Amino acid sequence: MLRISVILTVTLCVCACTTAPVIKEEMRYFDGPLPSDLSGSWERNYARDDDVNAVLREAYYQLSRTSQDQYYNGNSVMVGPSSNDMASVVALARLAELITRPDVLTITQDEHEISIEREDDFAMLCSFYNGATKANQSPYGNEVCGWDGKDLVSNLVLPDGLQVTHRFTKSDDGQQLRVITTVTSKTSRLPFSLRRFYKKFEHLPSSFECIETLSMKRVCSTSEVKP
């Protein structure tokens, strides 16, 4: 039992405490065109999604198994996660849940960029030039992507050790998309991951063609708009 606890502690420490980059060097380079075409409109398949509470319960058990904290429940001495540990994981879970809330992802892709638009959030951006990924850096965080085989991995490194990672995996038939979102923080012993599943869908053809303009805002026409 003691051996298992030690192994789990080490494993958790490796997961949560190390600073190894999510996007490894080899993931930043690729030959030829982008390894996968993720473009299209994707709608959430709730039936297959992870249940946040179930994942949180699992985190609780993991923390319990590795916790040094003991408490007395009236009958016997119990071992459980500290309130700080649990609060940190719950904070990550809430953020993961917030980030993965959008029902629809709209992904556009060309030879240099993949943009993943989400409702009520910024569009994730992956840039690729000369067979390598390019980080989008700013004082507020750095966004970099990489390819793990055909999986697209986006890693957002934010201040105070907060990281948000998305792994996009397309099914072989190209109709399903799995997105694993992982939030990690220096203040939490455990990362928190949620899986979301999406189905590809086609927008119904609109009878209006619209373009954005500066002076007239959105201009729509019943036929193809010639800007």
CB 224 within 8 A of CB 209: yes
Q: Which residue, among 85, 93, 101, has the nearest Cα to 52 in the 3D structure? A: 93
Q: Applying CB under 8 A, which of residues 32, 74, 139, 149 lies at the interface with another protein?
A: 139
Distance of closest approach, residue 192 Cβ to another protein, in angstroms: 11
The amino acid that residue 9 corresponds to is T
Output the six-digit token pair for 211: 């373009």
> Which of 46/140 has CB closer to another protein?
140
Site size with another protein, rule: CB under 8 A: 43
Helix (H) or strand (E) holding 89: helix 83-99
In the set 134, 150, 178, 199, which binds another protein (CB under 8 A)? 134
Strand partners, 225: none
Shortest approach of another protein to residue 214 CB, angstroms? Answer: 5
Nearer to another protein, 203 or 226 (CB): 226
Residue where the block lists tokens 């960029």:
113
Binding of residue 88 to another protein (CB under 8 A): yes
The whole-angstrom distance between residue 32's C-alpha and the CA centroid of its chain comes to: 26
Whether the Cβ atoms of residue 173 and residue 162 lie closer than 8 Å to each other: no
Q: Which of 170, 188, 196, 200 binds another protein (CB under 8 A)?
A: 188
Q: Would you tell me which residues interact with another protein (CB under 8 A)?
A: 84, 87-88, 90-92, 94-95, 98-99, 112, 121-123, 125, 127, 129-130, 134, 136-141, 156, 158-160, 162, 164, 183, 185, 187-188, 211-216, 226-227
